[in-house]
Structure 1
Amino acid sequence: MGSRSVMKWPQQVSTSLVEQLIRSEKDLEKAISTFDAATAEYGFHHDQNTFGLMIKRLLSANKFMKAEDMLDRMRREKCKITESIVLSFFRAYSRVHKPHEVVRIFRKMKEYECEPTEKSYLTVFSVLVNESQLKMAFNFYRYMRQMGIPTSVASLNVLIKALCKSKGSLDSAFKIFREMPKRGHTPDSYTYGTLICGLCKAGRNLEARELLLEMEGNGCAPSVVTYSLLIHGLCQTSKLDEALELLKEMESKGIEPNVYTYSSLIDGLCKNGHTSQAMKLLERMIRKHHAPNLITYSSLIHGFCSEGKVQDAVQILDRIKLQELKPDAGLYSKIINGFCDVSKFSEAANFLDEMVLSGITPNRVTWGLHVRIHNRVVQGLCSEGNLNQAFHQYLSFRNRGISIEATTFESLVESSCSKGDLHKAARIMDEMVVDGCIPDMKTWNRILNGFWDPRKVREAAELMQSKLIEEYRSNI
């Protein structure tokens, strides 16, 4: 084994030595080799500590199958599988958003002769709720109760969160909340924060504000998360004055706003036409050493473009690049659309080129918007008489498989004819037909009128003859 060549093993191999070697080996495969060599070459019997450490390393690297193989090996070697090791599987599968795998491992606990405690039940329940597997979550909660798992503040908090996420169940969440003291449970900051979040998402901001006051009255100190959720809710309903007052309130209590707090306020200000105020808040945010993220910048770009301040939006894009954040297709689309809105199609085309050269591509969600923007830019360039740039863009997105609208083909044909480039117009119309777009009478007339010149009658006749032959053959 490779591990033997780099070190001399002592005659007595201890658990602490094996643990030390596994931890110190950065290469996972070499760590596995060391783990195996301890047994194969030196007769070491692994225990819960070494097995557990190896499993955690495998899970950290998302080597789930190998980790489960190690779990089976523990069972074969009669090494007791502890709940702590099983919980590491729950956390790992939860990290990669695989709640069904969490449930599967939970069901195998008895097979592993590992009796689940309240902690395991609560972890699985929490994972299901966090992943919005609400039907499974409610069924699992009922199963918990059947198995005699007692209610606790922690379990009721997760149940309240599930009800807040479930459509139309917010009042049921409040019913449980009000009954908690009767069951001997005192709501904590997490309980209040969850309910405030649910109220804000439901647009019930006044009730959320009242609950915040009740929370403080009951000795539960609201956190930055609680305030941020309420501020976000107020911004979503355009109650900006209240949101800004709440910002002052939290700061007066010594609660420092975070990126989410500032981003929510900036988004609300931008959506309501207050980009100047949003920029002041951005500068304040930076002074307090909170680095803006793409969501913050996206709100500002959208706000500037909505107000026709496209150059200001471009400056924000430059800030993104300086901060070494990678702008996505959505941000470029906003700027390109912004230039189109103010009829600066050449600048819009330049940003299209920049986006392509940077290797930025839209995802499935934004693909339709991406197609519309490309077509809009080409049509705009044609309307300005900028045929060369329009044709360049046309070829670019044709080569990338972007759908071309009939209106775009027609704009290109008309622009080509206006410039006297009839061969280019004919080529575009040929490609239009190949793509399944049927030219209308206006487009046909534009081509024929272009060729209808004493010097070009022959070319017009040949074109017409060719088209008639094609039509005749297609009808045979």
Structure 2
Amino acid sequence: MSAVYNIWNEYSKYYNFNLISLRKFIWSFTRLKDLTTACEALQHLVALVFRGDSNIKISDEGKMVIPKLDVPIPILSNQDNNNTMFNPKVVGFDVNKVNTVGTVMGNPKSILVTKILRLSFTDVIRACVPFKNDELAEQLFYQMQNLGVKPSRAAFDGFIRVLVKERGFHDGIEVLNLMKQRNLKPHDSTFAAISVGCSESLEMDLAEAFLDQMAQSKSAHPYNKLLEACDTQDQPERGVHIFGKMKQLKIAPTIKTYELLFSLFGNVNAPYENGNILSQAEATTRINAIEDDMMRNGIQHSYVSIRNLLKALGSEGMISGLLHYLRVAENQFTPGTPIYNIVLHSLIEAKEDQTAINVFKTLLSHGYRPNDVTCNIMIDCCSISRSFKSAQGLIAMMIRYGYPPQTQTYTSLLKLVLASEDFDEALNLLNQACSEGIQLDAVLFNTIIDVASQKDRIDIIEFVMDRMHKERVPPDPATCGHVFTAYVNQGFHNTAMEALQVMSMHMLSEEDINKNKTDFEDLIYSEDSEAESRVLDLFKDSKENLAVALLNLRWCAMVGNPISWLTSQSQWVKRLAATNSFR
């Protein structure tokens, strides 16, 4: 870059610029990612064309001849130079001078002049992509047309790519349609950019359709983006199809491909299901197949691929594999605390508390600093061994490292004290958590409600539910299940239905109710056989709470309970508040 600057300064000092020299400078500046100077050179180029001073000679063979630069004549005074400095944010071409340009284009050299302009504008437009400067690209794209220069496929490619990055795939498709109207065939990179934009917006059908229009696919990037969308939407079947296309088209996978494959296929069970012998055997087969493919393509594990693999093994409860790949991570990388947290969490889920303690000691011995997540996991470990003293030591460690107890910490402590069915201490911890001003969640309250439901302690449940209402913490499906079951087990069926209705209402936000109340009522009361399927479709959009709330309310309506949106008028809510006001 410094060499090009020196040449640029020397050239401007001793020689007149011509179209060919400016063209080469613009090419250099854009390749070296100096958008500002490239735009300045482009303005010089256009200014020469305005003056009709193209300074181009044509050989007998019809080729451009670069004139000899043997007379040092300064091109601009300081004042002129300041006047022509180019602001990359505002393209300063005078579009009223199009007629002047048209006159220049009318001479025998017009084809060559047009070619130089087109190439130079295209270079600068494409240089806007890494800078995400969609405004400049748009101005250049339309101003080159005002100058009588039709954009090339490459100019369209640069413009579409920066539009997709900054404004979304819809804008890119609009310009693509304009391109097709002019009978210009898009580059593969154009289709790839729009496909990536569609994948990022989770429009997977469109993303795949644009991939299919590519003539010669070589890059794995757009396919990886589509695999990433499959992972986000939990569509492993589609992921198999996309990876199969990559194989068929002989597109070499990258490490990113394998990172996504481990995330998509490493575990077999759906969320909330525990691993078993069959699922673990299938997971092993899949993981081995992915690793074999990595070896065939000469790709080593990355930090992310190991991390995703550890998550998959942990979700299947495959402890020996988990520990094996932890050792792989320790040998190949600097694992860091996050990797150990994944392993520790999986070990606690599998009730492998002693192994978790050993891994925690390894973390400390390697010089890694535990964070708040680590300490909360290990407090969960204490609930298995029922060691309150160890939990207190971990809390002291958290505070020493600058991590004050948060909701997850109190949740872990509640699990510990409830292991001994100490409801008094549990309620004290709940009150303390509420007084700390931290962000409370349903999981904290559910920890007490779950154990109270198992022990038929309706008094505890009602106290916790009242506190939950007062703290404006919405319940979740687990809350509904625990409370409903507790009332039913005690034979309080009417109360169970009323509580279920109120909790389901509280799972919906006020904004949702105000905006969609009529639609919700249609789904709740509809006798259409497809109504329930429409509610279940909400699970696909990760709207679990909304789906469960509507299904609960639909059930309440089906058994004859009138649905009221005014939960404050519920006798159950009033009774909870009155009963617990004396505590």
Query: Do the structures match in fold with TM over 0.5?
Result: yes
Structure 2 equivalent of residue 212 of structure 1: 360
The superposition leaves residues 393-416 of structure 1 with CA deviations (integer Å, 9 ceiling, x where unpaired) of x9976458xxxxxxxxxxxxxxxx
Q: CA deviation at 1:319?
A: 3.5
Match for 2:440 among 292, 297, 301? 292
Q: CA deviation at 1:215?
A: 1.0
Task: State how far apart, in whole Å, the 2-side matches of 1:180 and 1:336 are.
Answer: 46
Confirm whether residue 273 of structure 1 aligns to residue 273 of structure 2. no
Task: State how far apart, in whole Å, the 1-side matches of 2:468 and 2:333 are.
Answer: 50
Q: CA 1:397–1:272 in structure 2 vs 1: closer, same or farther (change >3 Å)? A: farther
Match for 1:139 among 270, 281, 289? 289
Confirm whether residue 65 of structure 1 aligns to residue 205 of structure 2. yes
Match for 1:193 among 329, 341, 355? 341
Structure 2 equivalent of residue 309 of structure 1: 460
State the one-letter code of the partner of 1:122. Answer: E
Confirm whether residue 171 of structure 1 aligns to residue 320 of structure 2. yes
State the one-letter code of the partner of 2:292. Answer: R
Structure 1 equivalent of residue 242 of structure 2: 105
Asked if 1 retains the 8 angstrom alpha-carbon contact of 2:266 and 2:287, the reply is: yes
State the one-letter code of the partner of 1:174. Answer: L
Match for 1:148 among 298, 304, 315? 298
Match for 1:87 among 211, 216, 224? 224
Q: CA deviation at 1:16?
A: 4.6
The superposition leaves residues 368-413 of structure 1 with CA deviations (integer Å, 9 ceiling, x where unpaired) of xx9xxx9xxxxxxxxxxxxxxxxxxx9976458xxxxxxxxxxxxx
Task: State how far apart, in whole Å, the 1-side matches of 2:252 and 2:292 are.
Answer: 19
Structure 2 equivalent of residue 453 of structure 1: none
Q: CA deviation at 1:95?
A: 0.5
Match of 1:299, SS state, is helix
Q: CA deviation at 1:35?
A: 3.6
Q: CA deviation at 1:121?
A: 2.5
Task: State how far apart, in whole Å, the 1-side matches of 2:478 and 2:188 are.
Answer: 49
State the one-letter code of the partner of 1:58. Answer: C
Asked if 1 retains the 8 angstrom alpha-carbon contact of 2:484 and 2:496, the reply is: yes
The superposition leaves residues 296-318 of structure 1 with CA deviations (integer Å, 9 ceiling, x where unpaired) of 22223345555433441331341
Confirm whether residue 318 of structure 1 aligns to residue 469 of structure 2. yes
Match of 2:196, SS state, is helix
Q: CA deviation at 1:34?
A: 0.8
State the one-letter code of the partner of 1:82. Answer: S
Task: State how far apart, in whole Å, the 1-side matches of 2:358 and 2:257 are.
Answer: 35
TM-score (norm 1): 0.61
Asked if 2 retains the 8 angstrom alpha-carbon contact of 1:160 and 1:176, the reply is: yes
TM-score (norm 2): 0.51
The superposition leaves residues 108-158 of structure 1 with CA deviations (integer Å, 9 ceiling, x where unpaired) of 224445322333233323432256561312322233234433355555555
Confirm whether residue 230 of structure 1 aligns to residue 378 of structure 2. yes
Task: State how far apart, in whole Å, the 1-side matches of 2:322 and 2:500 are.
Answer: 49
Match of 1:309, SS state, is helix
State the one-letter code of the partner of 1:204. Answer: E
Match for 1:96 among 209, 225, 233? 233
Asked if 1 retains the 8 angstrom alpha-carbon contact of 2:445 and 2:464, the reply is: no
Gaps of 5+ in 2: 1-138, 270-281, 507-519, 525-531, 537-547, 562-583
Q: CA 1:265–1:148 in structure 2 vs 1: closer, same or farther (change >3 Å)? A: same
State the one-letter code of the partner of 1:263. Answer: T
Q: CA 1:221–1:233 in structure 2 vs 1: closer, same or farther (change >3 Å)? A: same
Structure 2 equivalent of residue 383 of structure 1: none
Asked if 2 retains the 8 angstrom alpha-carbon contact of 1:125 and 1:141, the reply is: no
Confirm whether residue 116 of structure 1 aligns to residue 266 of structure 2. no
Task: State how far apart, in whole Å, the 1-side matches of 2:411 and 2:371 are.
Answer: 17
Task: State how far apart, in whole Å, the 1-side matches of 2:328 and 2:165 are.
Answer: 48
Q: CA 1:269–1:141 in structure 2 vs 1: closer, same or farther (change >3 Å)? A: same
Q: CA 1:120–1:283 in structure 2 vs 1: closer, same or farther (change >3 Å)? A: same
Match for 2:160 among 13, 18, 27? 18
Q: CA deviation at 1:278?
A: 3.8
The superposition leaves residues 224-252 of structure 1 with CA deviations (integer Å, 9 ceiling, x where unpaired) of 33333222233355444433432222222
State the one-letter code of the partner of 2:378. Answer: L
Write the mapping of 1:388-427 to structure 2, written as runs, cut at 5 A. Answer: 398-399=559-560
Asked if 2 retains the 8 angstrom alpha-carbon contact of 1:267 and 1:296, the reply is: no
Confirm whether residue 74 of structure 1 aligns to residue 210 of structure 2. no
The superposition leaves residues 156-213 of structure 1 with CA deviations (integer Å, 9 ceiling, x where unpaired) of 555555554555x5235435545766x6655443443333233323322233123212
Task: State how far apart, in whole Å, the 1-side matches of 2:433 and 2:505 are.
Answer: 32
Gaps of 5+ in 1: 1-6, 365-369, 375-393, 401-476
Asked if 1 retains the 8 angstrom alpha-carbon contact of 2:449 and 2:483, the reply is: yes
Q: CA deviation at 1:91?
A: 0.9
Q: CA 1:38–1:351 in structure 2 vs 1: closer, same or farther (change >3 Å)? A: same
Match of 2:241, SS state, is helix
Match of 1:292, SS state, is coil
Q: CA deviation at 1:86?
A: 1.8
Structure 2 equivalent of residue 413 of structure 1: none
Q: CA deviation at 1:357?
A: 7.4
Give the fraction of aligned pairs with identical amino acids, expressed as a percent: 18
Q: CA deviation at 1:96?
A: 1.0
Confirm whether residue 129 of structure 1 aligns to residue 280 of structure 2. no
Task: State how far apart, in whole Å, the 1-side matches of 2:329 and 2:480 are.
Answer: 50
Q: CA 1:32–1:340 in structure 2 vs 1: closer, same or farther (change >3 Å)? A: same
State the one-letter code of the partner of 1:312. Answer: F
Task: State how far apart, in whole Å, the 2-side matches of 1:138 and 1:348 are.
Answer: 49
State the one-letter code of the partner of 2:194. Answer: M
Structure 1 equivalent of residue 351 of structure 2: 203
Write the mapping of 1:350-389 to structure 2, written as runs, cut at 5 A. Answer: 350-351=498-499, 354=502
Aligned length: 357
State the one-letter code of the partner of 1:57. Answer: G
